[in-house]
Every structure is written in C-alpha cells, then in structure tokens.
C-alpha cells in the first residue's frame, strides 16, 4: 500500500524539464488560433433568440442542404468502406507488380488541393468529359446531380478508410484464419465471421472520418454539384458561403453551429471507438 | 488402406479447389483495386495534365505567368511559409507536453488540438470573420489601434486573415505526426538525461530530435501541401483578386469565368499545385520506405 502511494508520488514529480513552458505555449496558441475564433461563432449564434434560430435553420433550402450533405456523405462513406477494405486487403495480402505505385496513389486526395480536385472531377464527368460522355450516352448524368456529389465525396474519403484498415490488417495474425479454415469454415465465412469483426473498429473509424469530412466538404464538391436550389444539389458548406456573400451573418452562424455540433458528435464517437479499441488490444 | 487413399485424394482435391478459389479471389480483388484506383485517382491526374496543355505549351506558360497567377502564387507561398513555421513550433511544443508528462485533461487537450481536422473549412473562414470582421468582438480593438497609431491594420479580407485561416486548417499536422513516434519511444532516455543534469534544450536536441527527425519532416511536408491548397477557409476571408487571392482562389476565379481559355488557364494554374502534390506523394513514399526498412533492421538486430 505504502509502496503504491510512493510510486504515485514519484510519478507526480516531473523529472523532464519544460512542462510549464510547453504547456503554456500549447494552450495559448490553441486558444488564440482555434478556440477563440470558434467560440465567436458559438457566442454570436447563441445570441439569436431561439425562435429566430429555429426559423433560420428550418428554412426549406437549409433543410434540403443538410439532407443532401448528410445523405450523400453517408452513401459515399459506405461505398468507401467497401472499396477501402478491398484496397487495404489487396495491398496487405497480395504481391503484384505496381503495388507500391497503387499504394502511393491512395494518398492523392490528401495531397491534391480540394479546388483542383473539384474542377477536375467536374470536367471529367460533364457531358463532354472523358468519363461523362460515355456515361451520358447510356443515360447516366453525373456532373450537376447528386451522383456527382457522391463521386466527389468518394474521391476525398477513400484514403481515410484504407489508411485506417491497412495497419490493423497488417498486424492481424494469420492463425485465426488458419484455425477457421481447419475447423471447416468457408473462405467467405472466415472473412465475415473471423476477420471482419477484428477490423470493425478500424472500419468504423475510417467510416466516421470519411463521413465527417464529407459533411463539411466544400472545394471538391461545389463545382460538380451544380448548386441548384431547385434540384437540391446545394451542400451545407455552399449555403454557408452563400449566406456570407449576402452578408447574412445570422443565418451563416446558425447553420454553422448546427454543423459544428454534428462534427463534434462524430469526433466524439470516433474517439470512443478508438479508446475501446485501445483497451481491447491492451487486454490481449 | 483404399479408404484412406480415397480420403487423402478427397482432401487433396478440396485443397486444390480451395487454392484455386483463393487464386481467383486474389485476381478479382487486384482487378477491382486497380480499376478503382485508375478511374478514381489516376484518371483525374491525367485529366488535369491534358486539360492544362489543351491549347499548347505557349498558352500554358502564358497562363502560368499571368499577373494574377503570379500574385496569387506569392500570397500562397507567404501564407504557407508562416503557417509551416508557426505550426512546426506549436507541433513540437504540443508533442512534448502530451508525450513527456502525465497530467489531468491530457485526452481533452489532444482532442482539442485535433479539432481543425473535423471542421468544415468554410466554418473556419466564418469563425475568423466573426472574430475580426465588422461584427466581431475584436473589431473595436483593431479600430482603436488604427486610430491611436494612425495605422491601417486589417485582418478580415486582407493578408493577415488569409494567413490565420491557413494556420488554423494546418494546425495539428506536425504534432499529429510526431506524437505517435514519441509515444512509442517512451520517456526513459529523457528522464535519465534530466537526472544526469542535462538542460531542456540539450535533452531535446541530443535525444528527442534524432528520434522524431523523419516524422517531423513528414509533418512539415503534409502541412506545406495542405497550406498551399487551402480553399474554403480562405475563400470566406479574401475578396480581392490580384491582391489577397491565393492560388486556389485564382483557380476558382479562372474556372468560374467559364470561357474555354480561362478554363484551360485554370488547369494550367492547377498544374503548379499538382506538381507539388506529386512531389509530396513521392517524398511520403520514400520516407515511409526508409522508416519501414529501419524498423526491419532494428527487428533483425
């Protein structure tokens, strides 16, 4: 008992110098650059009377924008989970020529500026574009539709899933697979019953990150979406920007507050998943 | 005996069947992966290059060296350099405090540092506008400063706003790369050095820095590439073409003009950023390869 108390005390005294200095710098910079500006948005939007606030965020085009952003991001994130797991699996389990290049390309959406990605995708999938033309010929319009938004969100979201699943798959012990096979499970059963549960936290994290990024995405979406109020192809970020350029700060901050709440909830969920995962791996 | 043989044969047969199925799965998955990467990622890159050269090399160089593009490039580089310097400094401090010490609320601090990752860039622009713009609580301070010192300081819709927005969106990039490395390394060596009487800076440069060198470089590269390409946050804070426009904003302006010439010019301007993006990707792969090789060597010895 005494021993543990002593140990605890020993832990409390900090041997390494620089705690106060680095702590001070970190907290000051974090407050000045991130927290205070964000607080300004919250303070301003909470100053609105509640009835006004509700009125602003339940305007029809705002509701449509939220629906579009959330539904499109969700669909894109689901598609990214499917392809992301396949890509991670291929990159970890198989050897083939050009694998390193394939691996390198995964990160392209992180490195490419969003505006550049946006104009490029918009051009590629327009009726005269390299992919849009053949698709238009069989009756599928991509640019300036919801499909276009989903395509752009798949583009920016894919690295999140691949890069979260890949390391877990690399560490995954082959024993379970072998055991399942020897016990008579079919390969697909092995995958769905043995491997997939192991990957679930990583997949959920990747899904959450891609989903969160998709809801707030601006640059890569606004060119391909067409931003038509009539066809409900405006995303939330676009509506905020539109309100800003009309100097309608009340609406802009009200919408922004709702979006902040959504992203904080998602961030919180992701953190909980990651903490659970850390606990689980530590227990083993 | 015969029965045994039969069973063996059956097992062999099953084994063969299984191997065959495994092989088919392998090729199907590789094909899906290659097709996905080709259509979703390689093709856009190819499309940018071909679009930017659509009207010949002469037009390409003329668009890249136009007055607006050059001014935008200058603003972009200026904001990027400041953002990288500040975020590197912050990243080192934040990594030091969250990995070398244990204190209450550490998890909260780590989460707060990661906030810029999960916030829409448009909201970042809005946040600075609500802080430094006409309605912002800081606006009277700026006005007071300007009237007392006869200065003409502006933050929103001016270069400082652009710089601040760029710092915000790249805020956690450096710290996030260093923290896992330092966590894995532990703090025994630093503690030993401190007990032997080494000062903080000496400990950092002699012990910590060599461990995080590559992670730091990678973080700086990521920070640079993101800072160069930031669009949404800057878009809300910058309205003057040729003065406060960054390269992505100039690309937007060119593309939105809608004429064939200006669209080609937009892609030409994009190609500058694409070249940087590709260099970043290659560097990333080299650095990762080095780290992996080093890890294997350590494991072997």
CA terminus-to-terminus distance, chain B: 50
Beta-carbon separation of B251 and A115 below 8 A: yes
List of chain B residues whose C-beta atoms are within 8 Å of the C-beta of residue A27: 109
Distance, CA of B170 to CA of B49 (rounded, Å): 27
Question: CB A123 to CB B43 under 8 A?
Answer: no
Q: Residue range B252-264: average pLDDT?
A: 92
Q: Report the alpha-carbon distance of residue B64 to residue B207 in Å, rounded.
A: 45
Whole-number Å distance between alpha carbons of A138 and A128: 14
Query: Of the candidates B25, B129, B200, which has its C-beta nearest A187's C-beta?
Result: B25
A94–B contact, CB cutoff 8 A:
yes
Q: Which chain B residues touch A104 with a CB distance below 8 Å?
A: 281-282, 284-285
Within 8 A of A244 by CB-CB distance, chain B residues are 125-126, 129, 236
Cross-chain residue pair B115–A237, CB shorter than 8 Å:
no
Identify the DSSP state of A97: T
pLDDT in tens, B168-212: 999 999 998 898 888 888 888 888 888 888 888 888 888 889 888
Candidates B232, B245, B262, B279, partner chain A, best to mutate (most A CBs within 10 A): B232
Residue A214's contacts (CB-CB under 8 Å, 6 or more residues apart) are A69, A72, A73, A74, A76, A77, A153, A156, A157
What pLDDT shows up at residue B3? Answer: 63
Alpha carbon distances (Å) from B8 to A178, A208, B5: 19, 49, 5
Please provide residue B170's backbone torsions phi and psi, each rounded to the nearest 5 degrees: -105, 10
Work out the number of other CB atoms within 10 angstroms of the CB of residue B263.
19
Phi and psi at residue A241, to the nearest 5°: -65, -40
Identify from B94, B118, B204, B288 which residue to disrupt to test chain A contact, counting A C-beta atoms within 10 A and taking the largest count: B118
Residue A19, judged by CB atoms within 10 A of its CB (0-12, 13-18, 19+), counts as middle
pLDDT in tens, B45-88: 999 999 999 888 999 999 999 999 999 999 999 999 999 999 99
E runs forming strands in chain B: none
Of the candidates A107, A154, A119, the residue with the CA atom closest to the CA atom of residue B51: A119
Dist CA A225 CA B166 (whole Å): 25
Minimum-distance CB partner of A260 among B30, B103, B123? B123
pLDDT at A1: 47
A123 to chain B, any CB pair closer than 8 A? The answer is: yes
* Average pLDDT in chain B: 88
* Amino acid A284: pLDDT: 46
Q: Predicted ipTM?
A: 0.86
d(CA B116, CA B111): 10
Question: Which residues of A are less than 8 Å from B113 in CB distance?
Answer: 26, 30
Query: Per residue in B129-149, is it b (16+ CB within 10 Å) or e — as a string?
Result: bbbbbebbebbeebeeeeeee
What is the rounded CA–CA span in Å between residue B135 and residue B119? 22
Measure CB to CB from residue B43 to each of A43, A113, A124 and give the nearest one. Answer: A124
Q: How far apart are CA B300 and CA B281, in angstroms?
A: 28
Phi, psi torsion values for A186, nearest 5 degrees: -75, 160
With bands split at pLDDT 50, 70 and 90, how would you rate the model's confidence at B17? Answer: confident
Q: Which of residues 200-239 of A touch B (CB under 8 A)?
A: 209, 212-213, 215-219, 223, 236-237
> Please, which pLDDT band fits residue B295 given cuts at 50, 70 and 90?
confident
pLDDT for residue B148 is more than 60: yes
Residue from the list B96, B101, B122 with its beta carbon closest to the beta carbon of A237: B122
Cβ atoms B63, B265 nearer than 8 A: yes
Nearest to A274 by CA among A266, A103, B112: A266
A49-283 CATH fold: MetI-like fold (1.10.3720)
**Pairwise CB contact (< 8 Å): B281 & A37:** no
State the helix-helix crossing angle for B67-100 and B260-300, rounded to 10 degrees.
Answer: 30
Task: List CB contacts of B69: < 8 A, sequence separation 6 or more.
Answer: B63, B247, B250, B265, B269
**Contacts by A187-195 with C-beta closer than 8 Å and gap 24+?**
A187/B18, A187/B21, A187/B22, A187/B25
Q: What is the pLDDT along chain A (284 residues), one digit of tens a residue?
A: 455 555 555 555 677 888 889 999 999 999 999 999 999 998 888 888 999 999 999 999 999 999 999 999 999 999 999 999 999 999 998 999 989 889 989 989 988 999 999 999 999 999 888 999 999 999 999 989 999 999 999 999 999 999 999 988 988 877 777 788 788 877 788 888 888 888 898 999 999 999 999 999 999 999 999 898 888 999 999 999 999 989 899 999 999 999 999 988 988 888 888 777 777 666 54
Query: Do B241 and B253 contact (CB within 8 A), yes or no?
Result: yes
The pLDDT value given to residue A3: 53
Nearest-angstrom CA–CA distance, A139 and A157: 26
| DSSP letters spanning B217-274 | HHHHHHHHHHHHH--HHHHHH---TTTT--HHHHHHHHHHH--HHHHHHHHHHHHHHH
Interface test with B, best of A32, A42, A69, A115 (most B CBs within 10 A): A115
């Amino acid at each position: 008992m005494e021993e543990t108390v002593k140990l605890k005390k020993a832990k409390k005294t900090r041997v390494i110098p620089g705690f106060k200095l680095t702590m001070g710098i970190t907290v000051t910079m974090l407050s000045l650059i991130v927290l205070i500006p964000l607080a300004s948005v919250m303070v301003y939007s909470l100053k609105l009377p509640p009835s006004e606030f509700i009125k602003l965020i339940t305007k029809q085009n705002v509701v449509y924008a939220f629906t579009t952003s959330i539904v499109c991001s969700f669909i894109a994130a689901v598609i990214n989970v499917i392809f992301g797991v396949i890509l991670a699996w291929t990159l970890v389990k198989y050897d083939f020529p050009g694998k390193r290049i394939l691996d390198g390309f995964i990160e392209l959406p992180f490195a490419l500026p969003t505006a550049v990605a946006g104009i490029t995708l918009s051009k590629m999938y327009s009726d005269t574009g390299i992919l849009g033309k053949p698709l238009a010929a069989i009756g599928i319009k991509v640019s300036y539709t919801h499909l276009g938004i989903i395509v752009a969100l798949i583009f920016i979201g894919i690295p999140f899933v691949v890069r979260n699943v890949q390391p877990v798959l690399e560490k995954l012990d082959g024993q379970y697979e072998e055991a399942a096979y020897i016990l008579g499970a079919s390969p697909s059963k092995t995958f769905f019953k043995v491997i997939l549960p192991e990957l679930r936290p990583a997949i959920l994290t990747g899904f959450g990150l891609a989903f969160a990024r998709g809801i707030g995405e601006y640059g890569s979406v606004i060119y391909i979406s067409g931003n038509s109020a009539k066809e409900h192809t405006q995303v939330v970020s676009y509506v905020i920007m539109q309100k800003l350029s009309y100097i309608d700060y009340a609406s802009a901050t009200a919408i922004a507050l709702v979006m902040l709440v959504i992203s904080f909830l998602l961030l919180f969920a992701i953190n909980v998943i990651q903490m659970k995962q850390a606990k689980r791996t530590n227990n083993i | 005996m015969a029965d045994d043989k039969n069973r063996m044969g059956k097992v062999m047969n099953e084994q063969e069947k299984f191997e065959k199925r495994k092989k088919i799965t392998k090729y199907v998955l590789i094909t899906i992966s290659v097709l996905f990467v080709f259509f979703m990622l390689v093709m856009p890159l190819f499309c940018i290059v071909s679009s930017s050269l659509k009207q010949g090399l002469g037009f390409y160089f003329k668009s890249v060296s136009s007055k607006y593009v050059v001014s935008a490039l200058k603003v972009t580089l200026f904001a990027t350099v400041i953002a990288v310097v500040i975020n590197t400094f912050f990243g080192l401090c934040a990594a030091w405090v969250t990995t070398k010490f244990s204190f209450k609320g550490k998890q909260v601090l780590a989460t707060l540092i990661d906030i810029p990752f999960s916030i829409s860039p448009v909201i970042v622009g809005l946040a600075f506008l609500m802080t430094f713009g006409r309605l912002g609580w800081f606006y009277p301070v700026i006005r007071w400063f300007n009237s007392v010192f006869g200065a003409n300081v502006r933050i929103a819709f001016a270069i400082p706003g652009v710089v601040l927005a760029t710092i915000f969106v790249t805020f956690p990039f450096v710290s996030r790369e260093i923290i896992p490395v330092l966590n894995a390394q532990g703090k025994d060596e630093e503690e030993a050095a401190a007990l032997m009487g080494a000062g903080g800076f000496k400990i950092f440069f002699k012990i910590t820095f060599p461990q995080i060198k590559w992670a730091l470089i990678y973080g700086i590269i990521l920070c640079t590439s993101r800072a160069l390409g930031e669009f949404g946050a800057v878009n809300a804070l910058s309205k003057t073409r040729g003065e406060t426009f960054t390269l992505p904003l100039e690309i937007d302006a060119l593309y939105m003009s809608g004429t064939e010439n200006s669209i080609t010019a937009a892609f030409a301007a994009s190609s500058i950023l694409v070249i940087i993006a590709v260099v970043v990707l290659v560097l990333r792969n080299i650095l990762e390869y080095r780290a992996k090789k080093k890890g294997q060597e350590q494991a072997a010895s």
